[in-house]
Copies of this chain bind each other. A is one copy, B any other.
Amino acid sequence: MKAHVYVTLKRTVLDAQGQTVADALKRMQYQGVEDVRQGKYFLLTLANGMAQNAAQAEVERIAREVLTNPVIEEFTYRLEA
């Protein structure tokens, strides 16, 4: 089973990196992009035969305790069989 974890800065936190990408795109004449937010992406490969429930609990725990800084970041995740 695979778990996709997406970690982004909270909406209220200034995303300088994303802003820089957005500015660069504008300068380079790319059309139609109004805003860019940048985050991190983790692809976790889980042990075979792990139950859906157990996997969900473990991935949530890892994302919350290790991959995310709860002061400024939030996460979403998606499991894939």
- Give bound CA distance, A44 to B18, whole Å: 9
Q: Which residues of B contact A66 (CB under 8 A)?
A: 21, 24-25, 28, 30
B32 near A43 with CB under 8 A, answer no
Using CB atoms, name the residue of chain B closest to A15: B43
Q: Mark A7-43, 1 if CB is under 8 A from B, else 0.
A: 1100000000010010011001011111111111111
- Does residue A71 face the partner (Cβ distance < 8 Å to B)? no
Q: Considering the complex of A and B, which 5 residue pairs feature the smallest CB-CB distances, nearest first?
A: A35-B45, A39-B41, A41-B41, A37-B43, A32-B47
Please report A residues at the B interface, Cβ cutoff 8 Å. Answer: 6-8, 18, 21, 24-25, 28, 30-47, 50, 54-55, 58, 61-62, 66-67
